[in-house]
Amino acid sequence: MTVYLVGAGPGDPGLMTLRGAEVLAKADVVIHDRLADPRVLAMAPASALLIDVGKSPGGPVRQDEINDLLVSEGASEAVVVRLKGGDPFVFGRGGEEAEALARAGVGFEVVPGITSAIAVPAYAGIPVTHRGAATSFTVVTGHSRHAVDRDTDWEALAVAGGTIVVLMGVAHRAQIAERLMLGGLDASTPVAAVRWGTRPEQTTVRVRLDQLGQTPLDPPATIVVGAVAGLDFSWFERKPLFGRRVVVTRARAQASRVTKRLEDLGARVFEVPTIAIEDPGDGGAALDLVSKAIGGYDWVAFTSANAVEAVMARIPDARSLAGVKVAAVGDATAEALASYRIVADLVPVRRDAESLVDEWPQGSGRVLFPRAAAGRDILERGLGAKGWLVEVVEAYRTVHPEPEAADRRRVRQADAVLFSSSSSVDGFVQCFGASGAPSCVVCIGPVTAATARSAGMQVTGVARSASVDSMLDALLDTLA
């Protein structure tokens, strides 16, 4: 088949190209480097085989071995994506890989990427060219002793006068600075070194050229030398939650929306799975039965998006809900229904089970209540008292997975945790203990907050209305 040499961009998954995401989404095999961002790798199908050629017991895999791997995988039926940081042909050895594939007669395509040479300075608020400051920019490697000592004419670069962007230059930064100054660059020339650019852990160090050698710096960093490095149109590092580490504890499928919003605010988000959604104890047999006969109910009451998904997955025909009224507690639940073009007839103003009971009409008839195995029984009792016959059916089960060591570490280092339900509090406590909570604990509503308090946590923020937006406002308030 075809081997796609894909540029993944410098880290921020939003900087992956549409074409790159498209081929990644159909990949059978993804061969990637050490710096590949997990959020980019997540664009590949779950079934894809991920091969990390940046990490192996004896150090990184040798380039000739990578070439052989590309040729052998490319000769199979599989769709092979060779994922490289930034642009594949900018110091990515993509050229050598294309050459090897061409020589072996394996078809390939190149998907250019956004190079860190331009994007990383941009995320630090530095334009690589700027009227009056730089009319050109040079991208140069500082990788090997050889390149620094002999291959690159640093003095000529100094004379040329534009912006100098050094990739892989951390180790030899002292010699590089020395050579540039020998070439005539002023000792006071501004330098910006940006580490982990475009990622939530981005840091920018600004120094003079003559200080670069003594400045502590770790890879991976992009070093910008020249007048533009003195500009500071900083925006990324100024986001309200920039660099803050926030733990989100939701079942995987649901967390992504909150995560996206947090990342837009600049936060470093750790999705810690403390809850997994599984089929009910009976494998879903009871839910199957009631879902097939759903037209016989007067109302269906949904109190979670999980319940909506579980029921909708089992309904044979959307029209079987034609005469059935639907109630939804909480924004996420109503949105889950809306995604099936079902507008809830009743969404209580205060979005908890108590207000649903308050606002529910008096009457008689059958109410289906699909819900988690364990839950509060406010709805059954409340609606029962109003004359309704409530049939509870188990729609899903929440289980608490044993946390991995990496997750334990992330939770220990976090600045904040968000709880979007009482069960997410329970899940967190089961996995990490109440004392494992970070200093900032934000809950989606008073019920969740009460659960967190009774577990022994100090709640620092509660959303005013039970919505993701409001929860994020509460987080901003507490962290500010």
**Residues in the site for ligand SAH, rule: CB under 6 A?**
10-11, 35, 84-87, 90-92, 115-117, 120, 167-168, 194-199, 219-222
CB of 123 to ligand SAH, least distance (A): 8
Burial of residue 182, with CB atoms counted within 10 A of its CB: 0-12 exposed, 13-18 middle, 19 or more buried = exposed
Q: Which amino acid is at 422?
A: S
Q: Which is nearer to ligand SAH, 219 or 456 (CB)?
A: 219
Q: Which is nearer to ligand SAH, 99 or 469 (CB)?
A: 99
CB of 49 to ligand SAH, least distance (A): 23
CB of 367 to ligand SAH, least distance (A): 54
55 is catalytic: yes
Of 12, 16, 33, 471, the active-site residue reads 33
CB of 241 to ligand SAH, least distance (A): 19
SS3 content of the chain, % helix, strand, coil (to 5): 40, 20, 40
Query: What is the bridge-based pairing of β-strands 137-141 and 163-167?
Result: parallel
CB of 122 to ligand SAH, least distance (A): 11
DSSP 88: T
312 is catalytic: no
Distances in Å between the alpha carbon of 125 and those of 143, 200, 201, 319, 440? 25, 15, 15, 54, 30
Q: Which is nearer to ligand SAH, 116 or 451 (CB)?
A: 116
Question: How far is it, in rounded angstroms, from Cα 452 to Cα 386?
Answer: 31
Q: Which is nearer to ligand SAH, 63 or 188 (CB)?
A: 63
DSSP 174: H
Of 55, 153, 218, 282, the active-site residue reads 55
Of 16, 168, 457, 471, the active-site residue reads 168
Residue closest to ligand SAH (Cβ): 86
Q: Which is nearer to ligand SAH, 35 or 41 (CB)?
A: 35
HEC letters along 179-242? HHHHCCCCCCCEEEEEECCCCCCCEEEEEEHHHHHHCCCCCCEEEEECHHHHCCCCCHHHCCCC
3-state SS assignment for residue 373: coil
16 is catalytic: no
| 45 upstream amide cis, omega within 30 of 0 | no
Q: List the catalytic residues.
A: 33, 55, 168
